[in-house]
Structure 1
């Protein structure tokens, strides 16, 4: 009987020590498992700093009175551009060229020709897309694809 009581007391003491050791303790600054407060880093990823957008782009954009306009745009490393517009169709053999400078802001590249109006394009991975007069993407699903120029060089 004495042995049983002694075993119960010993078992109680061991249980108390184990349970006390498992309790959460306030952590000190030197604890290796301490999680540091993480600061959220803003995503600075955009076309201006992430894409290789210089090069030559081609596509055929819609035309009101011809079969289409083959547009070739060269974006040069020196800040210059050249756009060649070739009107397609049996009756039409008209080509004209624009040259000027460009600048990029986030995902929009702006072409400022030596003569004429400013043009804006959205820059994506391997393509540029003609934007409307207000600098917005053309959202009509069947029509939007017609304004994409693919990178060829």
Structure 2
């Protein structure tokens, strides 16, 4: 009997020693926190957070009714921009557009206030079509603005 009582006492001791005290739960909605964080800063390396994208970009974009569109876009680190365009072989008046550029959720593309979209690359802006896709074909290389050094 003494042996049985000793075994029961040891068994009770081992069972209580191995159990953990209940943890206090915190009422934090991790889904909401993750969603809010994803809206503000893209995860991983993106054009927005890993490239030195602020600066001036220039080039001549194709034009159906003129010799080309001389374009200069200056991007500031606060997302403000100034776009200056001249339709070559036409009026040649400088058209100026100012405002805030909006980054897409992936931190790769910007949209200017007139709806024009650009893919932001290393020292270049690549003009996109109206659906936000890269322009393909023979003239695709002409839709690139190079960063001024």
TM over 0.5: same fold?
A: yes
Partner residue of 1:92?
91
Shift of 1:53: 0.6
Say yes or no: does 1:122 pair with 2:123.
no
Shift of 1:110: 1.5
Partner residue of 1:139?
136
- Provide the alpha-carbon RMSD of the alignment: 1.5
Say yes or no: does 1:56 pair with 2:53.
no
Shift of 1:103: 2.4
Tell me, yes or no, if the aligned pair for 1:66 and 1:92 is still in contact at 8 Å. Answer: no
TM-score (norm 1): 0.64
Tell me how many residue pairs correspond in the alignment. Answer: 105
TM-score (norm 2): 0.66
Partner SS state of residue 48, structure 2 = helix
Partner SS state of residue 128, structure 1 = strand
How do 1:2-151 residues align onto structure 2 when only pairs under 5 Å count?
44-89=44-89, 91-105=90-104, 106-112=107-113, 117-140=114-137, 142-151=138-147
Partner residue of 1:15?
none
User: Aligned partners of 2:52, 2:134: CA distance in 1, in Å?
Assistant: 21
Partner SS state of residue 131, structure 2 = coil
Shift of 1:119: 1.5
User: Aligned partners of 2:97, 2:91: CA distance in 1, in Å?
Assistant: 19
Structure showing greater radius of gyration is 1
> Which runs of 5 or more structure 1 residues have no equivalent in the other structure?
1-42
User: Aligned partners of 1:109, 1:67: CA distance in 2, in Å?
Assistant: 26
